[in-house]
Amino acid sequence: MEKEFDRSVSLTSSPSQSKENELLRISNLSIAYESKHANLLALDNIDLEIGQNRLIAVVGESGCGKSTLALSIIGLLAMPPAKIMNGKIEYKSINLTALKEKDRRKFRGTEIAMIFQEPLTSLNPVYKVGDQIAEAIAVREERKNDRSMDLESEVMQRTYKVNAPDMPSRLPRFKRGGLTKLLRDEVLQVLKQVRIADAEQVIDRYPFELSGGMRQRVMIAMALAQKPALLIADEPTTALDVTTQAQVLRLMKELIDEVNTSILLITHDLAVASQVADRVIVMYAGDIVEDSDVYDLFREPLHPYSKGLLSCIPVGSKDKAKLKPIPGSVPDLSKPFVGCKYASRCPFAMEICSKRSPRLVEARPNHRVACFLYSGESR
Amino acid sequence: MNTASFILRRLFLGIFVLLGVVTITFILAHSLGGNPVYAWLGRTASSHPQLVQLYTEKYHLNDPLYIQYYYYITGLLQGNLGYSPAKGFIPVSQVIVETFPYTLQIAFFAIVISIVLGVVLGVVSARFHHGPIDKSIRAFYLAGISSPAFFIALILLIVFTYFFHLLPTGNAADPSLLTPKPITYIPMLDSIIEGDYAYFASSIQHVILPSLSLALGTFGVVVRVLRSSMLDIMRSNYVRTARAKGLKENTVFFKHGLRNAMISVVTLSSFIVTWLITGTIFVENIFSYPGMGEYVFTALIVQDYPGILATTIIFAVIIVISNLVADILYVVVDPQIRLG
Ligand SMILES: Nc1ncnc2c1ncn2[C@@H]1O[C@H](COP(=O)(O)OP(=O)(O)OP(=O)(O)O)[C@@H](O)[C@H]1O
Ligand SMILES: [Mg+2]
């Protein structure tokens, strides 16, 4: 374990981003799932920062820790079994990991929102979608009016943007009578914002009356209604068919310019990332192995794993034959590990790769990679 | 399908269920064998053989079963439940009107106590699950579920009546008080309507122990179902969404969790009603409460066919109605059934 800490000391220089534009900074974050038998290290010294108004994709195969990362940012990790071993998550310079749940909650929704992979089950079956969106708006309004926001009040004051029209601050009661005119109008407006044409009907529907694509739009509308600065989307299109998937992705891409929000898009599909993201973060077995501008990554992937992933993308239907899976498998994360986790599968593996873990370093401008091929440490 | 036609269909089905219950009970009761007149008359039967003859003819007891069945059903359709040999051949309907309201009183309180206690404790143990409160509640309801009603009844009697003299036993109210004039025929309701609060207070005191001893055996089922469905729901995706919105944990729990978990309680409620209404027979006998329970026993022992049939029909009607009510409630709480 000492080795791990050793590594965490050396903070890498990040892609040049002006500090005031920074929204989220994650440093040395390690998260383990603890059980009686073993501790599974799901995130291993993650360093990452996210600026404003950007669409960043996190890519990696199943089990590499994408959802763990997302849930830790919004603070919805079930602890236990999850445990933050070390590191911090700073949002607008406030260390979220140090906050009590009571204060932590105040960041959810209005600052950091999240939509999930399962649109079919992520909406409450017994309330109309309009009411569920209205509830989200009410949370936002309540916070705006909340003067008892005692936590580091100056920072919080700065943090809470005041950019919404005045709304009743009481939570809607889900009365049969329905929503107030003002609230209903805003709900309609956000539904239209996510390109739901018949918003007037959809607002009074129950979730089970809507298709998967519609429900995911409703989820996006609900998240956007709170005007978060960061929207985390954990595989938002995986459960949808290809056409709907494309529509939802295009919607997210368009929205990033309309609303004042950064989007962290989690996907296991590099093709999806290439379509919408400005920046791509590649994860492997709990590590960030590459972090780059989307064009650079596709023009010149540095990490052997990224190269492998890229060669897996079928380019046009004729190239199906070229789709080659990466041989080998991910190491068992519940065992202590020495060296680069990808070494056993890596065609470029060197001696050092099985002895030490590579640091994430800026190998090219704005392009970080964790690989001894680029660290200059190989000799 | 709209709600009205749904209810009509269920009512229609209910009538068939009742007819089935009547037929089966009729056959079962009459297959006990022997001439029941001997059981009805007891000693008198041997000293007055002509009386046996008389009653056998009067009640068509020598006719084939289907003829007797025909007589019974035609009588039933005219609202005639027959005459009760166990009660000196007064009309069964009279016995029922005099006793059944008391049974309703016990059943009502038993249902209210077990649902309210079950929901409250279920909510508390789900909210603080795996903590000491949850564990104490579990110990409490497991003790209740695993004890037979008569055992609970005896414990309550010993503790509240004999040791602490807190609550009375026997009768539906203090015998020195006059039973209120029948308006609804349910004495407690009548006492409120007539402003007879002394009677009302006394009847409450008398109903607590019997209904509590029934409820203590049942509320645990509600706790268990509510707790486990609540815990499932609190791990569900839509609860995660509610948390992601930044709602307070209490709002998440009650507005998003409990509302959904209540669907399972509604599903359970008709079962609870069935359980409790039949349970009244035993506790009424233990507490000498003047409900229908005593009559059910006597009727069974002396082969009082009309009595057995009538009380069975009444229980069946209640069960059919409670199922209907549960179905309607189900439609109200679950929009997917309402509209789907
Ligand atoms: N609640 C949990 N308890 C124990 N281990 C867990 C738990 N949740 C996740 N893990 C483990 O942590 C690792 C990372 O899981 P995570 O869900 O973050 O992966 P992911 O990248 O989101 O995968 P997917 O693409 O399948 O969603 C996996 O090995 C997984 O088995
Ligand atoms: Mg995941």
pLDDT at position B326 is: 87
pLDDT digits (tens, 9 = 90+) for A182-204: 888 888 988 988 888 898 899 99
- Split at pLDDT 50, 70, 90, the class of A376 is low
Per DSSP, the residues of A42-65 read: EEEEEEEEEESS-EEEEE--TTSS
Mean pLDDT for the stretch of residues A25-29:
91
d(CA B269, CA B226): 12
Ligand 1, atom 1, lies closest to the CA of A81
Q: Domain of B63?
A: 3-92
Rounded to whole angstroms, the Cα distance separating B324 from A379 reads: 81
Q: What integer is the mean pLDDT of A215-226?
A: 89
Distance CA B231, CA A85 (A): 27
Question: Distance from the CA of A279 to the center of ligand 1, in angstroms?
Answer: 23
Chain B CB within 8 Å of residue A137 CB: no
Separation between Cα atoms, residue B230 and residue B253, nearest integer Å:
9
- What is the per-residue pLDDT for A371? 84
Is residue B339 situated within a structural domain?
Answer: no
Q: What is the pLDDT of residues A251-280, one digit of tens each?
A: 888 888 788 888 999 998 888 888 888 899
Give residue B119's pLDDT. Answer: 95
The pLDDT tens digits for B201-233 are 999 999 999 999 999 999 999 999 999 999 999
Q: What is the DSSP letter of A72?
A: H
What ipTM was estimated for this complex? 0.82
Listed in sequence order, the residues at least 6 apart from A37 whose beta carbon sits closer than 8 Å to its beta carbon are A334
Contact list in A for residue B244 (CB cut-off 8 A) is: 74, 76, 108-109, 113-114, 116, 223
User: Does B246 contact A107 at a Cβ distance shorter than 8 Å?
Assistant: yes
pLDDT band at A207 (very low <50, low <70, confident <90, very high): very high
Neighbouring C-alpha atoms within 13 Å toward the C-beta of A359: 19
Is A72 in CB contact (< 8 Å) with chain B?
A: no
CA B238 to chain A, closest CA, distance in angstroms equals 4
Is residue B194 assigned to a domain? yes
> Residue B173 pLDDT > 90, yes or no?
no
Residue B158: CATH number of its domain: 1.10.3720.10
CA nearest B329: which of B261, B257, B267? B267
* Whole-number pLDDT of residue A309: 81
The number of folded domains in chain B is 2
Cα A64 to ligand 2 centroid, rounded to whole Å: 8
pLDDT of A51 higher than 70: yes
Query: In this predicted structure, what is the pLDDT of residue A14?
Result: 42
pLDDT tens string B225-269: 999 999 999 999 999 999 999 999 999 999 999 999 998 999 898
Closest-CA residue of B relative to A118 is B237
- Structure tokens that stand for B190 in this block: 């009548």
Indicate whether B183 and B135 sit together in one domain: yes
B338 lies in some domain: no
Give the pLDDT confidence score for residue A324 in this predicted structure.
64
Mean of pLDDT values over B35-62? 82
Residue B11 sits in the same domain as residue B32? yes
Please tell me the distance in Å from A28's CA to the nearest CA on chain B.
Answer: 24
| pLDDT tier, B40 (very low <50, low <70, confident <90, very high otherwise) | confident
Residue B62 lies in a domain: yes
Q: How far apart are the first and last CA of chain B?
A: 9
User: In terms of domains, do B304 and B321 share one?
Assistant: yes
Q: Give the model's pLDDT for residue A12.
A: 39
pLDDT at res. B177: 87
Ligand nearest to the CA of A116: 2
CB contact under 8 A, A206 and B339: yes
B309 is a domain residue: yes
What is the pLDDT at residue A178?
A: 60
Domain-embedded: residue B340:
no
- Cβ distance of A125 and B238 shorter than 8 Å: yes
Q: Helix, strand, coil % (nearest 5) of chain B?
A: 80, 0, 20
Q: What is the mean pLDDT of chain A?
A: 79
Do B72 and B82 form a contact (C-beta atoms < 8 A)? yes
**pLDDT range class, residue B340, cuts 50, 70, 90:** low
User: Based on the domain organization, do B110 and B61 belong to the same domain?
Assistant: no
Collect residues with CB below 5 Å from ion ligand 2: A 67
Same domain, B304 and B226: yes
Contact A26, A48 (CB under 8 A): yes
Q: Is residue B303 left, alpha or beta, with left meaning phi > 0 and alpha meaning psi from -120 to 50? A: left
- Res B224: pLDDT: 94
Whether B208 maps to a domain, the answer reads yes
**Does the structure show a pLDDT above 90 at A163?**
no
For A96-152, the pLDDT digits (tens) are 888 888 888 888 988 999 999 888 899 999 999 999 999 998 888 888 776 445 444
Q: Tell me the residues of chain A between 228 and 287 that have a Cβ less than 8 Å away from chain B.
A: none
Across the range B144-173, mean pLDDT stands at 86
Q: Inform me whether the C-beta atom of residue A109 falls under 8 Å from chain B C-beta atoms.
A: yes
**In a shared domain, residues B14 and B148:** no
Residue B309, pLDDT above cutoff 80: yes
Angle, CA of B100, B102 and B107, to the nearest 5° = 95
Interface of B with A (CB under 8 A): 236-238, 240-249, 251, 255-256, 259-260, 263, 333-336, 339-340
Section B29-47 average pLDDT = 79
Angle, alpha carbons A127-A130-A133 (nearest 5°): 95
Domain final residue pick, B92, B107, B130: B92
The domain boundary residue, chosen from B71, B92, B113: B92
Ligand 1-lining residues (CB < 6 angstroms): A 33, 40, 42, 60, 62-68, 81, 268, 333
Least confident of A216-230, A283-297, B44-58: B44-58
Q: Of A30, A34, A46, A64, which is best to mutate to test ligand 1, by the most ligand atoms within 8 angstroms of its C-beta? A: A64
The residue among B92, B117, B151 that closes a domain is: B92
Whole-prediction pTM: 0.83
Can you tell me the mean pLDDT for B289-304? 89
Q: Do residue B203 and residue B181 come from a single domain?
A: yes
Q: Which pLDDT score, from 0 to 100, does residue A249 have?
A: 84
pLDDT for B135 equals 94
Nearest to B245 among A101, A126, A135 (CB): A135
- Per-residue pLDDT for A9 more than 70? no
Distance from the alpha carbon of residue B42 to the mean position of ligand 2, in angstroms: 79
Angstrom distance (rounded) from CA B27 to CA B69: 9
Which ligand lies nearest to the CA atom of residue A58 in the structure?
1
Nearest residue by C-alpha to atom 30 in ligand 1: A63
A105 to B335: CB separation less than 8 angstroms, yes or no: no
Same domain, B265 and B279: yes
- How far does the CA of residue A255 sit from the closest CA of chain B (Å)? 19
Q: What is the mean pLDDT of chain B?
A: 89
Quick one: pLDDT band at residue A1, thresholds 50, 70, 90? very low
Residue B270 domain-assigned (yes or no):
yes
Same domain, B233 and B313: yes
Of B237, B244, B334, the CB nearest to A113: B244
pLDDT at A175 over 60: no
Reported as type and span, the H/E element at residue B238 is helix B237-244
Q: Is A91 on the interface with B (CB under 8 A)?
A: no
| Contact between A108 and B248 using a beta-carbon 8 Å cutoff | no
What distance in angstroms lies between residue A315's CA and the mean position of ligand 2's atoms? 25
CA dist., res. B67 & res. B60, Å (int): 8
pLDDT tens, position by position, A337-372 = 788 888 788 888 778 888 888 888 888 888 888 888
Both B135 and B230 in a single domain? yes
Are B307 and B193 contained in the same domain? Answer: yes
Residues B88 and B120 placed together within one structural domain of the fold: no
